Each structure stands twice: as structure tokens, then as C-alpha cells.
Chain A
């Protein structure tokens, strides 16, 4: 059964390497890709390529990169409307991701889902849920599948600080513990839910306290330090794979942009934003890589350039893809599998 004790990790800020160099470079690549993708989405909506709304995650890249890198094939994820980062970290094809956000027929969901609903079952990316809290119970179900199948797979669910005030969060926390599910709860605590600062809606800033109430092992980690996120999440993932039950990891982080496309984020100060930008997850990783002589500035620039070129090309191709045209969407609405397939 789960260990009811919790172990807190100090907010790091340290520049010692504790992971293999390969892993660190991989984390950097994932983060750079997310940043490049989100910056491109931002530009694209200014250019009229993105419709409706979009929720960007610049500043939070270390959470997706660090938490997803320890996952393997066959693991499952659920995430939210702010879910581009998880998809890119998990390796979603960038062109298909852009195409979805641009509403094109070549998008991951043929343009039916949009920015808030990127999904790719081949990668275990079950879906981004635009109803707060809705992804958590679904991840519990995926964890049940993992439990039945006994292949050592896990499910991971991403959600924000604000989501921990809704019923679905609490119900899923309890279920995960009493059924000992291989389910990782990754709370991206970016200190705001929409326009509300966390303390106006929640009694404390350390969301991990909620895990203690459910007797779920938990950690708090510097969510801008990809190495730290990776280490802590890995420990929980390994335990879950061995049948040790769920774990809760609170990642302290910050989003640079407003909540959504229409939000200028007037409810926070420039100083606050600037102080978080100093702790930028990419900058931190660059520093780590360079100070420890893992990569030279030149090598880092080469990685950046490659990712940036790949991103530009993916976006360009996506923007040239056709829109889906009017047609019946009944096949997308209902499966029409012949019954014999269930024999």
C-alpha cells in the first residue's frame, strides 16, 4: 500500500548534474521544442491562423519535459486545454499538431478538436480536457487498464492548481489510493487559475498538502528545473510500475502569457513576471549544460537552430494544408465496428 509519509524536495537552483548527460540534453531538446511550438502558435494567432482561443504554456516547459521523459511506450497521459507542452514533450508530430490548431484536415484530429483538444492515441496521449478536472478520472481509468494488463505501465494526469478545487480531483485522488492505481498526479502550480491568484481560491500554496489527506505519497519540486522534475517523477513512476500505487508531484512554475488568448494578465505585476523569467527553465538548463561542460554555446545554438527550423517548416506546411470541407461527420461521431469484432 501507499506510503502515507511525504518527502519534500527543496527548491533547487543548484547547478550540479545528477543525471546522465544524454538525459539532460534530451530534456533541453524537449523544452526547446515546446517553447518553439508555443511561440509559433502565439505568432500564428496574431496572423489569424488560430481560431477561437488558445492557452499557452511558455514558462512551464520543464514540467512537461521532466515528467514525460521518464515515461515509456504504453504509458498514458491526460492533460488540459493548456496541453500543447505535454503533447510536444511526448513526441506528437509538430506538423499535425499545428495543423490541428489551424483547423486543417491534416491535424491530429482532422481539425475537429482544435487547440484545446490535441490527442494522439498512438502515443498514449488520451486527450486534453477543456472542462476543468475532467481529465483526472479518465486517467484513473487508463491506470486501471495498466493495472489489469500487468505490463508495468502507468498513467499520468496533468492539471493546474486551480483544478484541485473541483470535485473530480478529490474523487480521483481517493480512488487512486484505495485501488492502488499506477497513476501519477502532476500538478502544475503556476499560482493562478485564470485571473485568480491561488490564495484567493485555495487555503495554501502547497497543493501537495492535499495528497497527504489522501495518504498519497507526494513531493513538491521546482517546476522550472527539468532535472529535478525528472528525478522526482522518475521515483514515483518506478514505484507505480512496481505496483506501489499513485504519487502526487506538485511542480512550482509560472506561465508567461495570459490565461488565454483574450487575457492581458493585468492581475499580476511586471516584477513578478520578471522574477520568474529569471528562473526560466530553458535558461537554467543552458546554464547547467554549459557550466558542466556538457555542451558548448555553439552546440546549444545548433540544437536551437535545428528545432527552430523544424518548427518553422512544420507550421508552414500546416498552414498550407487544406481545411476540412463540409461533409457528414457521422463516422467521427459513432463507431460502426461490426459486432463480430467483439467476439
Chain B
């Protein structure tokens, strides 16, 4: 069925609410009003306010409460309106949710989902434009996935709700209106975490997440017209990181470019490049490259924001430079 990214998110939650009593959704203005980004539309009407629950503005409390529910047998889904707001509940996420099972000697499960929407390109300024990817991908105990299209958004969330570990599902504000044909009855599977080769090519492997994936694909079109064929991989899962499909691709293309909407220091591109260098060193014909945000917070002014974001044009330029 042809659905939007946004509808995919609603559909995955509806399915879970319908099939599993333990599932509930909570967040700010997600009930009666269907969510600030309309990612819970109709759920309140269908399942009621106890299971589709509006919270006060208290991220630390409701994210912590999600952990409390999870360790006592429930399956909460939390919506954080902007990924930037993870800052307010960071302690619960990294010191609590990520480590609790470990500190209990592996005797408990913390099955919860935190969905949050991030990213730039929307003129929201420095405190409302971050993807959050690198904030949370450092911590053992968490799983972190990034939805790049409606199919990802649907299937990752379905998987995350079934998963027995805490999962952070990162979505991108820029993608809400993207449409795609999605099989709503596809089996729920962890396959959705496997990096996906979206376009085949022999010249350079481009790895991207979230909104950078479509930019990489657009660049691939332009490059093809120049006779350059790149392979585009949607990384999908930051933790655990599955390097095999990337290594396999690099063994063929001998070149790697990571495109990410994060600052380069501590970005996932550094990890992917390092792993590629140590695990496929002999196959590399050039140093791995990264295209990232510059080293300053997101500016508000449109031209500056556009200049900060990795664009299809910049991907093209970088690839051409790598090959010359």
C-alpha cells in the first residue's frame, strides 16, 4: 500500500496497540491532538487515553516511567517530540535504560521504544535540528535505528516494539511526507536492521542514514549521468552496527564515503571508516571519506542552514574528488 512515512509510524503503533495489551504510547500532545507531527493520529480515538496517553512536559519523568513499566512487564512506546529533547532525559536513557539489565546480572528485560524526530533543513534553529544519532549510539544496552523511508519507519517500529531490549527509533522531520509502497502484512523481522543496498555500483560505496539516504540516491543519479556508478547503502542501524554488507560493498568498489547529518567528531562515519580500514584495508584504493555537518551548531538563516547540510551536490563533488 502506498503510504507516507508519517502514516507508516501511525500504522505500526496501531498494529501493536491492537495486538498486544501491554503496549501503550505516551508523549506530549500525542493523544487528543494526534501528535505535534501527527504521528499518532486516530490512536487516541481507537484505544483511549489510558493507552494513548498525553503527558505533561516532563521528559525525564515519562522516559523514566517507561523504564519502570518495561521492567514490570509492559511495553511502552514513548514519543519525544524533537530528538533534541533527549538532552532533558539523557540520564534516564544512558544511565538507566541502557545499563539496567546489565547491572541486574542480565536477569531483567527493558523492552521499551523511544521514538523521536530529529534533523535539519526545516529552519528550526540550533535547538530543534539535531538528529540525535551520535548522542545515543555510544551505549551498550541500547539498540539504535534510523528510518530513512516509509518502509523503514513501519518495519523498524514494528520490530522495535517486539524487541526485548530498549530501542531508540530515530526519525527525520524532513521525511514525514515521503511516500512508498509498503506491505503492511510483511512479517516482523530483525532483517530490517540489515544495511540495505539501495543502488548498485562499482565505483564508490556511499553509506548514509535518515534524510541523507535520499540525498545520496539523488547524487547517484547525477553521477550516473557522468558515467560514475556508486553503490548507495542505507545503514539503518547504528547499534549494533552490522559492517558486513558495507565491507562486502567496499571489497567491490574499493572506496568508501559516509554521509551523515552529524558533526564529524564522534559521528558514526568515523566508526564505519575505522572498521572498514581495519577490516578491509587491503581492498581500499583511497582513504575513506566523510561528508558531515560543519563544526558549528545549526544556523537559522536559510542559506547558512542549507550550506551546513550535506547536499546531493556536495556528495557529487566529494565522489568526483575521490575518483580523481
- CB 8 Å contact bits of A195-213 with B (1 = contact, 0 = none): 1100011100000000000
Stretch at the interface among A86-94, A159-167, A296-304, A335-343: A159-167
The verdict on A51 contacting B57 (CB below 8 Å), with A131-B85, A166-B88, A267-B33 known, is no
Q: Name B29's contact: one of A112, A194, A324 (CB within 8 Å).
A: A194
- Flag whether A329 is at the interface (Cβ < 8 A): yes
- Flag whether A111 is at the interface (Cβ < 8 A): yes
- Complex Cα spacing A328 to B56, Å: 40
Q: A323 touching B33 by the CB < 8 A rule?
A: no
Give the distance to chain A from B210, nearest Cβ to Cβ, in Å: 19
- Complex Cα spacing A163 to B59, Å: 11
Q: B302 touching A323 by the CB < 8 A rule?
A: yes
In the bound complex, residues from chain B placing their C-beta under 8 Å from that of A163 are: 57
Q: Name A201's contact: one of B54, B128, B307 (CB within 8 Å).
A: B54
- Complex Cα spacing A326 to B314, Å: 14
Give the distance to chain A from B31, nearest Cβ to Cβ, in Å: 9
- CB 8 Å contact bits of A309-332 with B (1 = contact, 0 = none): 000000000000001111011101
Give the distance to chain A from B278, nearest Cβ to Cβ, in Å: 31
In the bound complex, residues from chain B placing their C-beta under 8 Å from that of A326 are: 303-304, 307
Q: B304 touching A114 by the CB < 8 A rule?
A: no
In the bound complex, residues from chain A placing their C-beta under 8 Å from that of B303 are: 323-326
- A interface residue count range (under 10 / 10 to 19 / 20 to 34 / 35 or more): 35 or more
Q: A330 touching B295 by the CB < 8 A rule?
A: yes
Q: A196 touching B300 by the CB < 8 A rule?
A: no
Q: A202 touching B56 by the CB < 8 A rule?
A: yes
- Flag whether A130 is at the interface (Cβ < 8 A): yes
Q: Name B300's contact: one of A117, A133, A195 (CB within 8 Å).
A: A117
- Flag whether B294 is at the interface (Cβ < 8 A): yes
In the bound complex, residues from chain B placing their C-beta under 8 Å from that of A117 are: 125-127, 300
The verdict on A111 contacting B301 (CB below 8 Å), with A196-B29, A267-B32 known, is yes
Q: A114 touching B123 by the CB < 8 A rule?
A: yes
Q: Name A200's contact: one of B54, B60, B61, B88 (CB within 8 Å).
A: B54
Q: A162 touching B299 by the CB < 8 A rule?
A: no
- Flag whether A243 is at the interface (Cβ < 8 A): no
Give the distance to chain A from B124, nearest Cβ to Cβ, in Å: 5
- Complex Cα spacing A132 to B56, Å: 11
Q: B304 touching A52 by the CB < 8 A rule?
A: no
| Interface of B (DSSP majority class) | loop
Most B CB within 10 A of own CB, among A112, A117, A328: A112
Q: Name A193's contact: one of B57, B84, B124, B294 (CB within 8 Å).
A: B57
- Complex Cα spacing A16 to B303, Å: 52
Q: Name A329's contact: one of B54, B299, B302 (CB within 8 Å).
A: B299
- Flag whether A116 is at the interface (Cβ < 8 A): yes
Interface size on B, residues (CB 8 A): 35
- Complex Cα spacing A196 to B33, Å: 9
- Flag whether B87 is at the interface (Cβ < 8 A): yes
- CB 8 Å contact bits of A104-138 with B (1 = contact, 0 = none): 11000001111111000000000001111100000
In the bound complex, residues from chain B placing their C-beta under 8 Å from that of A12 are: none
- Flag whether A333 is at the interface (Cβ < 8 A): yes
- Complex Cα spacing A335 to B14, Å: 49
Give the distance to chain A from B211, nearest Cβ to Cβ, in Å: 16
- Flag whether A53 is at the interface (Cβ < 8 A): yes
- Complex Cα spacing A325 to B302, Å: 10
- Complex Cα spacing A324 to B304, Å: 7
The verdict on A113 contacting B57 (CB below 8 Å), with A131-B84, A325-B303, A329-B294 known, is no
Q: B125 touching A114 by the CB < 8 A rule?
A: yes
- Flag whether A66 is at the interface (Cβ < 8 A): no
- Complex Cα spacing A193 to B323, Å: 53
- Flag whether B58 is at the interface (Cβ < 8 A): yes
- Flag whether A103 is at the interface (Cβ < 8 A): yes
Using a CB-CB cutoff of 8 Å, which residues 92-127 of chain B contact chain A?
122-127
Using a CB-CB cutoff of 8 Å, which residues 276-324 of chain B contact chain A?
294-297, 299-304, 307
Q: B28 touching A194 by the CB < 8 A rule?
A: yes
Most B CB within 10 A of own CB, among A51, A114, A115: A114
The verdict on A111 contacting B299 (CB below 8 Å), with A52-B125, A196-B29, A326-B307 known, is yes
A to B CB contacts below 8 Å, 28 in the list? A51-B302, A52-B122, A52-B124, A53-B124, A105-B301, A111-B300, A111-B301, A112-B126, A112-B297, A112-B299, A114-B125, A114-B300, A129-B127, A131-B88, A132-B57, A133-B57, A133-B88, A166-B60, A194-B28, A194-B29, A194-B36, A195-B29, A196-B28, A201-B57, A323-B304, A324-B299, A324-B301, A325-B304
Q: Which 6 A-B pairs have the closest CB atoms?
A: A114-B300, A52-B123, A51-B123, A111-B301, A103-B301, A165-B56
